[in-house]
Structure 1
Amino acid sequence: MKTICFYFQLHVPMMLRRYRFLEIDQDHYYYDDFANEANVQRLAKTSILPLNLLLLELIRTSRGKFKIALSISGVSIELFEQFAPEVMESFSELAKTGNVEFIAETYAHSLSSMFDPDEFTQQVQQHSNTIFELFGIRPTTFCNTEMIYSDEIGEMIYNLGFKTILTEGAKQLLGWKSPNFLYGHAVIPDLKILVRNMRLSDDIGFRFSNNSWSDFPLTAEKFMGWIKSTDASEQIFNICMGYQTFGERQKPESGIFEFLKAIPFHALANRITFSTPSEIAQKFNPISPITVIYPHSWSGEEKDVSHWTGNIMQTEALQKLYALGERVRLCSDRSIKRDWLCLQGSENFHFMTTKPWNSFVIWPQYESPYDAFTNYMNILSDFIHRVKEEYPSSIDNEELNALLTTIYNQEIKIAKLESQLGYNNNE
């Protein structure tokens, strides 16, 4: 029986303010609070709240047959809690249905998986803990920032305890293979890989309101007909898109919400079910392993990572940022740690791209990629000075590693003592 896995990824960037060179070492606040509040409240009104309300309705009216998966970056959660707490309440209502699988990702929606494995590990754990604290659900499936994936990233995720991962069904990954099957890691058979069906996902995400598209208008009946007509052996259809598809990229007047509302009826009429990623991983076996040597993503025609790492400006910014990783993780200054997370947001480097944008731009705040680079580097220069005040560059990496080892051993000892204390108290 054919099944659909709907996955929505939600990340709202922490917008940086215009930061001048003369402010370096003078002002350590980097954020445009007015823009952040306006963006969050607009998104809440036009996209997130209407979509969550509809998803809740579909789950209830289908008597639990409609299911979805979603991920919310940690930085987005902080923005919602600050500027639109009703958004988090709506996610809590969805969580209570038991029909939503919350997917783990990097807390800052960062590129740490490619530049700093230790930071990547810490952010994934931080995000997982945050989801558990908010919704009482511990994520078991992972989807990286912008669906970035490689064999090496898959191995890191598996070592963190995840057995299922979502990624883009790019041609360089699948070749002639269909995205409508479950796949496995090249050398770790236990790691299962769900790949995004690019065509069906982009039909909704990018082509839905394009009246010059040969299949315009797209109806739920037509969409389900396409799925039903596929070969009987193709049973898994991963439809993945950004949250902002609904109400922002595809405006309400396009009929996007009505389209989604009709999906469960036409799916169930065609005996097509809905599943979460973990359910698919439990029900199906991988048809074959796939090998991904170089990281790929769901961005651009190339489906690579060049939108974030493709020019000298991006490379310099990323190298200087992640060179600070060990020192930041040693410090105890809460403002430094928060700024460290926000400065890692992938959008900061996407704004520097010199490649044509093929994605929907919601936050056009810079005049050019160079303007984005200059502003970011001014902020990063101030941040570097603050980190060096905590741990001067005269301390080499060997000394830092020794300090980290000492701290780690102390944490283990403290945990053991606390455990023993708890045991004694219970007695």
Structure 2
Amino acid sequence: MKAICFYFQIHQPFRLKRYRFFDIGNDHYYYDDFANDDIITRIAHRSYIPAAESLLRMIEASKGKFKCAISVTGTALEQFEQYVPEFIDLLKKLAETGCVEFLAETYAHSLSSLADPDEFINQVKVHDEKIKELFGQTPKVLRNTELIYSDELAPLIQSMGYKGVITEGAKHILGWKSPNYIYSAASAPKLKILLKNDKLSDDISDRFSNTSWEDYPLTADKYIDWIASTPQEEQIINLFMNLEVFGDFQPRETGIFQFLEALPRFAEERGIDFWTPTTAVTKLKPVAELSILHPISWADEARDTSAWLGNQLQNEAFQKLYSVSERVRLCQDRRLKQDWYYLQAADHFFYMSTKNMHDGSVHSQFSPYDTPFDAFTNYMNVLADFIVRVEEQYPMSIDNEELSSLLTTIRNQEREIEVLNKEAESMRKNIEHFNEEHLLREKAAEEAAAKKAAKPRKPKAPKAAAEKPAKAEPAKAEPAEPKAE
């Protein structure tokens, strides 16, 4: 039995407005609300909404046999709630079918896994809480930002309780191996790895409407035939892509929605199932361990992290941002923490990429800036103001050693408070239990007394009058005999 595992990514960052040097210290609002509203509303109506409606029709037409996974960032969810709430309703309908699994990821689509494990754990936890709140699911499989993964991350992901992780089936990692199997992490053997089938995924996301492609036009029956023709022992075909592929990267006029909706029918004819990532890692056993020494991603030909950290500009901004992470976590300023999340989005670093600057690369296509240097300058101006606000809370005069000691004290106090709270809760429950037992005993005693009082008494029979014994009359003295004379 062969199965297809579809995963769709949804992400939109909070884009920054033009922020000048002279704004530092004077303007603490960093975002281009007009652009954010315009972009997410336009993409939602052109892509997200019709794609979600297609998924609902596929589930209904297949009577629940079609299944897939969706990963949506916290920053995207916030914008949907603000600008396109009808899409949130569609996502809820998908969740209610029981055929769509929501994955875990960083709330802000950040690169925190490469810089700060504590921040990574915190963001994934906050994201899980958001998914639970909106869709009633607790994610069991993690999808890190841009499918970033390495051996160093695996033990951390496993310790967080996830059954599996999905990442790129990069050729330089797999070599002769196939991505169409489940693997286990070399550094955390209990963690299972799902690998993107790069060719079959890109056939849809990149080549579907390319008229110069030798396999154009791509039809649903042809595509399913390709999957069915893979070796029998290869049981899982992982198709990972952005949901924007449907209607945005590949416009409606190309027939992309008809192609998508036809897949379940042809898959059923060929005996191919659709599984969610959790089903895949539950049903299938790993065929081998997979070691990935250096972080990989699904971006660019290199499939590494150079799309975000490949030049001096990006690394300077990245290091400057995470230099204040400990201080931000200490503060209680809600607005500051919100800005901290929004400024961590990987998109800001992506716009600074100098890769193929002048050949219309994907980096320049998605950037709102004229050049990577404009992106760097604007971001660093915003970051400078942000750091000023952080310093007002925790000055930089506190060195790292002192800050570390302070953090250790705070964490110890938090643990102590947690223990005391647990003890207090236990004592409260014991007192409640004692009071309940006491009340039950009192109630039982009152009921017993009431029953006794209400019980009718039998009339007492009159006692027979005790006959008084007759008084013995004194014996009469008999006359003495006359004395003889």
| TM-score, L = length of structure 2 | 0.86
1:249/1:360 contact within 8 Å kept:
no
Q: Is structure 2 residue 81 aligned with structure 1 residue 104?
A: no
Give the counterpart of 2:378 among 339, 361, 375: 375
Cα distance in 1 between the residues matched to 2:204 and 2:390: 44
Deviations 1:233-254 (A, max 9, x none): 1111000001111111000001
Deviation, 1:80, is 0.9
Cα distance in 1 between the residues matched to 2:286 and 2:298: 22
Alignment partner of 1:189: what SS? strand
Equivalent residue, structure 2, for 1:88: 88
Cα distance in 2 between the residues matched to 1:82 and 1:421: 41
Cα distance in 2 between the residues matched to 1:80 and 1:73: 11
Deviation, 1:287, is 0.7
2:350/2:363 contact within 8 Å kept:
no
Give the partner amino acid of 1:146.
E
Give the partner amino acid of 2:379.
Y
Cα distance in 1 between the residues matched to 2:173 and 2:285: 19
Deviation, 1:358, is 4.9
Deviations 1:137-160 (A, max 9, x none): 110100110001100112211111
| Counterparts in 2 of 1:422 and 1:134: CA distance versus 1, 3 Å | farther
Deviations 1:338-384 (A, max 9, x none): 11110000000000001136548774310000010000001011111
Deviation, 1:409, is 3.0
Deviation, 1:402, is 2.4
Deviations 1:78-119 (A, max 9, x none): 111111111111111111111111110011100010011111
Give the counterpart of 1:405 among 405, 408, 418: 408
Deviation, 1:187, is 2.9
Cα distance in 2 between the residues matched to 1:345 and 1:41: 20
Cα distance in 2 between the residues matched to 1:281 and 1:211: 37
Give the partner amino acid of 1:71.
S
Alignment partner of 1:38: what SS? helix
Equivalent residue, structure 2, for 1:141: 141
Taking the TM superposition and a 5 Å limit, the aligned residue runs for 1:125-136 are: 125-136=125-136
Q: Is structure 2 residue 392 aligned with structure 1 residue 389?
A: yes
Cα distance in 2 between the residues matched to 1:243 and 1:182: 24
Deviates more, 1:402-411 or 1:2-11: 402-411
2:152/2:187 contact within 8 Å kept:
no
Q: Is structure 2 residue 209 aligned with structure 1 residue 209?
A: yes
1:106/1:144 contact within 8 Å kept:
yes
2:250/2:256 contact within 8 Å kept:
yes
Cα distance in 2 between the residues matched to 1:279 and 1:136: 18
Cα distance in 2 between the residues matched to 1:94 and 1:328: 36
Cα distance in 2 between the residues matched to 1:25 and 1:189: 50
Cα distance in 2 between the residues matched to 1:222 and 1:381: 54
Deviation, 1:161, is 1.1
Alignment partner of 2:190: what SS? coil
Q: Is structure 2 residue 287 aligned with structure 1 residue 287?
A: yes
Q: Is structure 2 residue 169 aligned with structure 1 residue 169?
A: yes
Alignment partner of 2:379: what SS? helix
Cα distance in 2 between the residues matched to 1:358 and 1:225: 33
Equivalent residue, structure 1, for 2:462: none
Q: CA RMSD in A?
A: 1.4
Equivalent residue, structure 2, for 1:265: 265
Equivalent residue, structure 2, for 1:312: 312
Alignment partner of 1:90: what SS? helix
Alignment partner of 1:207: what SS? coil
| TM-score, L = length of structure 1 | 0.97
Taking the TM superposition and a 5 Å limit, the aligned residue runs for 1:230-379 are: 230-356=230-356, 358-359=361-362, 363-379=366-382
- When Rg is computed on C-alpha atoms for both structures, the one with the higher figure is 2
| Counterparts in 2 of 1:206 and 1:358: CA distance versus 1, 3 Å | farther
Deviation, 1:399, is 2.0
Alignment partner of 1:151: what SS? coil
Give the partner amino acid of 2:390.
V
Q: Percent identical across equivalent pairs? A: 52
| Counterparts in 2 of 1:36 and 1:200: CA distance versus 1, 3 Å | same
Cα distance in 1 between the residues matched to 2:138 and 2:421: 23
Give the partner amino acid of 1:322.
Y
1:300/1:358 contact within 8 Å kept:
no
Cα distance in 2 between the residues matched to 1:150 and 1:225: 33
| Counterparts in 2 of 1:90 and 1:419: CA distance versus 1, 3 Å | farther
1:15/1:36 contact within 8 Å kept:
yes
Cα distance in 2 between the residues matched to 1:343 and 1:142: 22
Deviation, 1:411, is 2.9
Equivalent residue, structure 1, for 2:454: none
2:351/2:363 contact within 8 Å kept:
no
Cα distance in 1 between the residues matched to 2:88 and 2:224: 31
Cα distance in 2 between the residues matched to 1:331 and 1:298: 35
Cα distance in 1 between the residues matched to 2:17 and 2:204: 33
Deviates more, 1:352-361 or 1:14-23: 352-361
Equivalent residue, structure 2, for 1:10: 10
| Counterparts in 2 of 1:92 and 1:422: CA distance versus 1, 3 Å | farther
Q: Provide structure 2 residue ranges, at least 5 long, that are not aligned to the other structure.
A: 434-485
Give the partner amino acid of 1:269.
E
| Counterparts in 2 of 1:268 and 1:145: CA distance versus 1, 3 Å | same
Alignment partner of 1:195: what SS? strand
Deviates more, 1:56-65 or 1:343-352: 56-65
Alignment partner of 2:319: what SS? helix
Cα distance in 2 between the residues matched to 1:304 and 1:242: 18
Alignment partner of 1:303: what SS? coil
Alignment partner of 1:8: what SS? strand
Cα distance in 2 between the residues matched to 1:422 and 1:291: 45
Between the two proteins, the alignment pairs up a number of residues equal to 427
Cα distance in 2 between the residues matched to 1:359 and 1:270: 36
Deviation, 1:34, is 0.3
Cα distance in 1 between the residues matched to 2:287 and 2:312: 40
Cα distance in 1 between the residues matched to 2:87 and 2:419: 39
Equivalent residue, structure 2, for 1:225: 225
Deviations 1:248-278 (A, max 9, x none): 1000001110000100000011000000111
Cα distance in 2 between the residues matched to 1:46 and 1:421: 54
2:351/2:364 contact within 8 Å kept:
no
Alignment partner of 1:191: what SS? strand
